[in-house]
Amino acid sequence: MSNSASQSDFASVPVLDYSLLNSANTRPRFLQQLRHALVNVGFLYLSNHPVSQNDIQRVIDYIPKLFDLRQEAKDAIRMVNSEHFLGYSRFGAEITKGSVDQREQFDFATKYVSTWKEGDPEYYRLRGPCQWPDEKLIPGFRDAFERYLEQVKALSHSFSSVVAEALGLDPEALSQFYDPLNLRQHRAKIVKYPAINGSNDQGVGPHYDAGFLTFLLQASNHEGLQVQNLAGQWINAPPIPGTFVVNIGLAFQMVTHGLARATSHRVLSPKGSAPRYSIPFFQTTRLDKPLGEDELHFPPEVLALRDARGKVAITESANFSEFASEPFGKIALISRIKSHPDVGGRHYPELFKELFPNGHEGLGTAY
């Protein structure tokens, strides 16, 4: 481990108290802690946030019922039905870093009425309405989850101006990277990691998230989430009741020129008998242009923190190869087709053929 890395490295994920933002006296302390977390860790817990704990608990209570629906009820909303890549994926449908991810999941998203029309870029079809399970089979679930998503969405928007401030920018500086409110759609998955007592304990393999900010709810009391520090060690990020885990995705690392770090993370399957549940909420950025086009101007003392951080020693992660000069929507669409080739083949046959000229057998690559 180099000296510069050891000084800014982390042995645990910091917990930030959102309520410190409410008073002029404590606000600078929050911003300073946030700056450290963004630059050196790439992960933080957010406590005392404004999303209603009652509404969170309602969602948590529904999760086992959702996965316990009969297989036909889940298959009725399989993702392959949806050109928006929203819906159910069976256990073991994806691979990360060469191994099968042992999880089952539903992809949902914030409310959206599709505006796509002939002639619009194809990647606008990524946005659209969710597939919901039959209301009669799980009454109230849709309402509970929509309430939850609306609140996390609002938090994710207000938090991005706090992030800008913490990095020495105007609070509105990041808004250029988001679509206008009426076109914005964020995605969230509800994930089940069953207990595994065999040798492959990969819940999800090491990866970076792709987007801007992720707000993760750890919805059961299981360890398993791990975050890789600068020295390459895996640091546990156990559930802390009442918090979100917030982390940075590659798109945000890119627009901050590496000042804020995307950090590799993974989930180990739980042992024993009870499954681990989680809900990652992925904030998305504007789809219509390359993210590298707009420039952010950080104060020199903030940029100096990046240089002081030093280099990451080892990163174990699946990587993205397409982060270049394409509109972000195109990158997002390619990555969805790679992770769900069955959906891509059915709804985006031309792009699918470009990506897989010889067809595609087997599982998709998640990251």
Q: Residues in the site for ligand AKG, rule: CB under 6 A?
A: 191, 204, 209, 216, 218, 225, 265, 267, 278, 280
Q: Which is nearer to ligand AKG, 280 or 310 (CB)?
A: 280
Binding status of residue 94 toward Fe ion by CB under 5 A: no
SS3 98: coil
Helix, strand counts (H, E) of the chain: 10, 15
| Nearest CA among 321, 244, 185, 279 for reference residue 49 | 244
Binding status of residue 209 toward Fe ion by CB under 5 A: yes
Return the amino acid letter for 224. G
Q: Which residues within the stretch 109-138 sit at the binding site for Fe ion (CB under 5 A)?
A: none
Q: Which is nearer to Fe ion, 165 or 209 (CB)?
A: 209
- Write down the least CB distance from residue 204 to ligand AKG, Å: 5
278 binds, among ligand AKG, Fe ion, none (CB under 5 to 8 A by kind): ligand AKG
With the C-alpha atoms ordered 328, 345, 317, 228, is the resulting torsion angle positive or negative?
Answer: positive
Q: How far is residue 121's CA from residue 242's CA, in Å, rounded to a whole number?
A: 40
How many whole angstroms from its chain centre is CA 276? 17
Q: Which is nearer to ligand AKG, 14 or 238 (CB)?
A: 238
Residues of 250-263 as b/e, b for ≥16 C-beta within 10 angstroms?
bbbbbbbeebbbbb
Query: Measured between alpha carbons, how far is residue 253 from residues 1, 30, 215, 260, 271 in Å?
Result: 23, 21, 16, 5, 34
**Binding window for Fe ion (CB under 5 A); candidates: 25-33, 119-127, 180-188, 208-216:** 208-216
216 binds, among Fe ion, ligand AKG, none (CB under 5 to 8 A by kind): ligand AKG
37 binds, among Fe ion, ligand AKG, none (CB under 5 to 8 A by kind): none
| Nearest CA among 209, 292, 298, 275 for reference residue 246 | 209
Name the residue whose CB lies closest to ligand AKG.
278
Given a contact cutoff of 8 angstroms between Cβ atoms, the answer to whether 15 and 44 are in contact is yes
How many whole angstroms from its chain centre is CA 161? 18
285 binds, among Fe ion, ligand AKG, none (CB under 5 to 8 A by kind): none
Q: Which is nearer to ligand AKG, 169 or 262 (CB)?
A: 262
- Write down the least CB distance from residue 203 to ligand AKG, Å: 7
Q: Which is nearer to Fe ion, 246 or 303 (CB)?
A: 246
How many whole angstroms from its chain centre is CA 214? 4
Pairing, β 43-47 against β 15-17: parallel
- Write down the least CB distance from residue 36 to Fe ion, Å: 21
Q: Which is nearer to ligand AKG, 165 or 209 (CB)?
A: 209
- Write down the least CB distance from residue 317 to ligand AKG, Å: 11
- Write down the least CB distance from residue 207 to Fe ion, Å: 6
Name the residue whose CB lies closest to Fe ion.
209
Given a contact cutoff of 8 angstroms between Cβ atoms, the answer to whether 309 and 9 are in contact is no
Q: Which is nearer to Fe ion, 94 or 209 (CB)?
A: 209
Given a contact cutoff of 8 angstroms between Cβ atoms, the answer to whether 21 and 48 are in contact is no
9 binds, among Fe ion, ligand AKG, none (CB under 5 to 8 A by kind): none
- Write down the least CB distance from residue 125 to ligand AKG, Å: 22
Q: How far is residue 298's CA from residue 246's CA, in Å, rounded to a whole number?
A: 22
Q: Which is nearer to Fe ion, 101 or 209 (CB)?
A: 209
Given a contact cutoff of 8 angstroms between Cβ atoms, the answer to whether 290 and 328 are in contact is yes
- Write down the least CB distance from residue 280 to ligand AKG, Å: 4
- Write down the least CB distance from residue 215 to ligand AKG, Å: 11
Point out which residues bind Fe ion (CB under 5 A): 209
